[in-house]
Amino acid sequence: MSTEPSISRDRVFRFGPFELSERQAELRKSGVRIKLQEQPFRVLVELVANSGNLVSREVLHKELWPVDTFVDFDVGLNSAIRKLRQALNDDAENPRYIETLAKRGYRFLPAVAVAVPGPPDAQRAAVSAETPVLRLVEPHSVVEELTTAEPPIDEPPFWRKKIRLWHLTVVGIALLALGVGLAWWLRPVAIRQVVAQRVTANPPDVPVTGAVISPDGKYVAYSDQTGVYIRHIDSGETRPLSLPKGFDGIPTSWYPDSTHLLLANREGPQHKSKVWKVSILGGDPQMLLEDAEQGIVSPDGSEIAFVHLGSSFYDRELWLAEADGQNARRLVERRLDRSGKETDPQSASWSPNGQRIAYIERERIPSRSASAYRFLVYTRRADGSDARFLFQDGRMESVRGANVQLLPPPLYWAPDGRLYFALRSEERGHDDAIWSIGVDQNTGEPQGQPREMLRGLGWIGGFSASKVGKRLVFWRSNASEQVFVSDFDGSSRKMSSPRRLTIDRSADFWAADWTVDSKAVVFLASGRHKIYKQELDATTPELLTEWRKFEVNLPRLSGDGSEILYAVTDKPEDASAPVDLMAVPIAGGAPRVILSEPGISDFICAKPPSQVCILGELLASGSFFYLFDLHQGKGRLVAKLPSYAHSGFSPDGSTLAIDDGTTVRFVSVDSGIVKDVVVKDWPVRKSADWSADGKLLLIASFTPAGAPVILAIDLDGNARVLLEGDRSAPFKYVLPSPDGKHGALDITTGESNVWMVENY
């Protein structure tokens, strides 16, 4: 169906809470103007004017882009659509306004009312009482025009008109009084609108990493990669906290005097976690606790609740200590059952009267292709007794592999007696909403139902509230995981500065593999139901395959690149449930089951001419690595470790590398010979992937100063830095292309700032 020209008439379009005016060249939402650049505005008019119909990319190019800008058209249109979705708060995955029809164009979805003014004054006299034409445009329907004009009628006698006006006035007053009475009688319970205001304005390359408000409500202590700052909320005056050079702290709690703070940091090559006490008036920090994080001071300042860290990331317990760090004792321990399900405490908060502690337990199920988590909220007395379950988030959160950290939801027991927490929004995968529930401070029992207070762009990092002034402060981030590409420079033995491949901030993307010709990256989108590929010189991805029913994990290509391998399970919460390893032709076709077993955690195939593949299984008894064939299934055992480890398979299929964080084990697939090497000076490692020539192991790590790096490690354990990045954008891993010229990186980017709600 053809579309009609857009900017040739003066119209006002209304849809939902929005109003789009051609004459004013502006978009308004509930009367508030939303800033739009010219080209996105013109695209929106074109789409809205043809609501319900496909507007092809060719039509948009012909009508809105000059002929001589053909080369930049795709970039410009994609940028315009992205800006429109931001302005409309729309989601590309679940659109309410703009639907993308792959490789064809776009369709505007909601009904649109269009007001078109009548003819100019000179013509209007000739047509008498013409009034504006109203059109209600429904998607996929024929447009009908309705006019509100009426034919002229004779005037009644003056006395009759006067009587009629008097009667109408009396009737109008009576109806108005009746309406007011009914409205008051049937009035709904007023819902107070909560508005958040931004406190800091850090740019994306300097994100806020933590923030807490002082008990007196005057100050916010916040941190970023440049230091710790104290900001006076009302005046905006900000000054850095005096700290030793190289000290990177994150504020976690104030003392009741609003003068002293607790800071958490990681020090030295081992990144040892510590909790410190510092005065905002000056002086050196005082170290209180080691192997500790998230220190929270009790309301009277006599005790500190903190998370005690064991030998591994998952070894976490909730402890208490006196205000000077002495007499530390366990409050909630980590638990591990026979099925491999782990339960460990995360964030905690004191009740306003200091009698109880609320805390979150993370329940982790490792025996599947992606570690699954459920968060449960409890309270218990400060002496450890009387544990009470409050509620749980029934949805499972999944993480690709077991090497990706999932931040626990924040929790805060505010002075008003309500427990504040964050939940992921159902409508948009990136958004957290702030909720609260009343909790009895003495019994720990819930009071009433949870209620949503505020939702906004991004995930919530932490809460704190003042005892004076009814101020609730939180920091939130709109960071997302994106795919970047870097080039390997053979002469300098370095990697180039990464350039962004994916540009859609409405979803997280995880690089999964390369096509065999090294021209495109295959990646998985958040929601785990869609797999895409994108050419290196393209600005938009191509959908390869999607699943409606199951959550997809670990998509990889077969050695020859003809099939996509992936894992699915319909019971992610059941550690004993089988995980199906599937294969589907990359060109399209019916999927097939390769094998079905519990605990499938990884799989990777060597490159041709080798046809060897490795299957990883993570069970309660340890990690197991087997040979497997795409048609014959699982073969013999190659290696076994007592716990989870990162693994990589050499391109020629000869060597399996297993990194448990302390030692890299190289295992010969044919002979079974094992060579263990220790990587000096790099104790924190996050991945294990081989270079294209099979001579080096590529691992993501951090410098002692916290900067992300990509390391190249040879078979003797010698390491050198290939790429160093910014602390605000950490690397997760790098996947080299088959030709050895490029590397696909998973990098987290986005803005993070402090926000505040008053009179909550």
Task: Encode pLDDT of 574-616 as tens digits.
Answer: 667 788 888 989 887 888 899 988 888 888 999 999 889 999 8
Q: Measuring CA to CA, which residue among 473, 344, 349, 474 is closest to residue 411? A: 349
Q: What is the pTM of this model?
A: 0.62
Distance of alpha carbon 594 from the chain centroid = 32
Give a yes or no: residue 35 inside a domain. Answer: yes
Decide if 337 contacts 355 (C-beta within 8 A): no
> Quick one: 298 and 436 in the same domain?
yes
Q: Are 313 and 408 found together in one domain?
A: yes
Q: Are residues 392 and 252 in the same domain?
A: yes
Q: How far is CA 201 from CA 206, 606, 751, in A?
A: 10, 48, 9
Q: Which two tokens stand for residue 441?
A: 């401070």
Please report the pLDDT score of residue 268 as a whole number. 63
CA 5 to CA 265: how far, in whole Å? Answer: 60
In 199-291 the beta strands, taken as DSSP E runs, fall at 210-213, 219-224, 227-232, 238-240, 250-254, 260-267, 272-279, 286-290
pLDDT confidence bin for 131, thresholds 50/70/90: very low
Residue 133, in any domain of the structure = yes
Same domain? For 317 and 236 the reply is: yes
Q: Is residue 7 pLDDT above 70, yes or no?
A: no
Phi–psi pair at 159, nearest 5 degrees: -65, -35
- Rounded CA gap, 551 and 569, in Å? 7
Q: Per-residue pLDDT for 520 more than 90?
A: yes
pLDDT of residue 726: 83
pLDDT at site 601: 83
Give pLDDT, residue 367: 46
For residue 685, name the pLDDT band (cuts at 50, 70, 90): confident
Report the range of poorest mean pLDDT among 189-203, 239-253, 273-287: 189-203
Q: Output the pLDDT for position 509.
A: 86
Residue 17 lies in a domain: yes
pLDDT, tens only, 83-120: 888 888 888 877 889 998 877 889 999 888 887 654 44
Number of domains making up the chain: 2
Q: What is the CATH number of the domain that holds 143?
A: 1.10.10.10
> Which contacts qualify for 386-395: CB closer than 8 Å, 24 or more apart?
386/444, 388/443, 388/444, 388/445, 390/358, 390/419, 390/437, 390/439, 390/444, 390/446, 391/437, 391/446, 391/450, 393/423, 393/424, 395/424
660-663 long-range CB contacts below 8 Å, 24 or more apart?
A: 661/685
Please, which pLDDT band fits residue 368 given cuts at 50, 70 and 90?
A: very low
Mean of the pLDDT values across residues 534-545?
A: 88
Going by pLDDT thresholds of 50, 70 and 90, the confidence category of residue 179 is: low
Neighbouring-strand partners of residue 287: 276
Q: Is the pLDDT of residue 59 over 90?
A: no
pLDDT of 8 strictly over 60: no
pLDDT category of residue 145 using cuts at 50, 70 and 90:
very low
Lowest-pLDDT range, 79-83, 249-253, 311-315, 438-442?
311-315
Strand-pairing partners, residue 617, are 600, 624
CB-CB contact of 725 with 745 (8 Å): no
Are both 119 and 227 inside the same structural domain? Answer: no
Q: Is residue 729 part of a domain?
A: no
Q: Are residues 202 and 137 in the same domain?
A: no
DSSP 3-state of 219: strand
How many residues are recorded in the chain? Answer: 760
Tell me the C-alpha to C-alpha distance, in Å, between residue 411 and each of 220, 310, 337, 350, 351.
18, 22, 26, 10, 11
Strand partners, 274: 265, 290
Is 314 in the same domain as 429? yes
Q: What is the pLDDT of residue 315?
A: 78
CB atoms within 10 A of CB 285: 21
254 and 380 in a single domain? The answer is yes
253 with 111, same domain? Answer: no
Would you say residue 158 lies in a domain?
no
Share of the chain above pLDDT 70, in %: 79
Cβ burial of 159 (10 Å; 0-12, 13-18, 19+) is exposed
pLDDT of 22 reads: 86
Comparing 492 with 81, which gets the higher pLDDT?
Answer: 81
Give the confidence band of 138 by pLDDT, cuts at 50, 70, 90.
Answer: very low
The mean-pLDDT minimum among 19-28, 37-46, 418-427, 607-616 falls in 418-427
User: Taking residues 725-732, what's their average pLDDT?
Assistant: 82
Residues 143 and 271 in one domain: no
Pairwise pLDDT comparison (688 vs 2), residue with the higher score: 688
Average pLDDT taken over every residue of the chain: 79
Shortest CA distance to 396 belongs to which of 653, 572, 614, 517?
572
- Calpha distance 15→379 (Å, rounded): 46
Torsions phi, psi of 245, nearest 5? -60, 135
pLDDT above 80 for 122: no
Residue whose entry in the numeric block shows the structure tokens 């003068």: 259
pLDDT for position 548: 59
The confidence band for 465, taking pLDDT boundaries of 50, 70 and 90, is very high
> Same structural domain for residues 286 and 393?
yes
Measured CA distances, 478 to 475, 485, 511, 539 (Å): 10, 22, 20, 21
466 pLDDT tier (thresholds 50, 70, 90): very high
Q: Does the residue 122 lie in any domain?
A: yes
Confidence of residue 406 (pLDDT cuts 50, 70, 90): very low
The CATH number assigned to the domain holding 438 equals: 2.130.10.10
Please say whether the beta carbons of 691 and 736 come within 8 A: yes
Q: Compute the distance between CA of residue 329 and CA of residue 331 in angstroms, rounded to an integer.
A: 7
> Which of 147, 165, 186 represents a domain boundary (last residue)?
147
Which range has highest mean pLDDT (333-342, 467-476, 498-507)?
467-476
Distance in angstroms (rounded) separating the CA atoms of residues 684 and 571: 33
| Residue span of the structural domain in which 66 resides | 12-147
Q: Are 539 and 72 in contact (CB under 8 A)?
A: no
384 with 470, same domain: the answer is yes
pLDDT confidence tier of residue 159, bands split at 50, 70 and 90: very low
**Which token pair is 391?**
């509620």
Asked if residue 97 is part of any domain, the answer here is yes
In a domain, 456, yes or no: yes
Last residue of a domain, one of 147, 163, 180: 147
Quick one: average pLDDT of 222-244?
A: 91
Contact present, 335 and 317 (Cβ < 8 Å): no
Instruction: Give mean pLDDT, residues 337-361.
Output: 85
Q: Give me the mean pLDDT over the 567-579 stretch.
A: 73
Cα–chain center distance at 412: 21
Instruction: For the chain, report the end-to-end CA distance as a whole number of angstroms.
Output: 51
Is the pLDDT assigned to residue 237 strictly greater than 80?
A: yes
**Which among 129, 147, 165 is the end of a domain?**
147
Q: What is the DSSP string of 331-359?
A: EE--EE-TTS-EEEEEEEEE-TTSSEEEE
Which segment of 233-237, 335-339, 476-480 scores lowest on mean pLDDT? 335-339
At residue 549 the predicted structure's pLDDT band, cuts being 50, 70 and 90, is low
Q: What is the pLDDT of residue 79?
A: 78
Predicted confidence at residue 374, as pLDDT, reads 76
For residues 155-180, give the mean pLDDT.
49
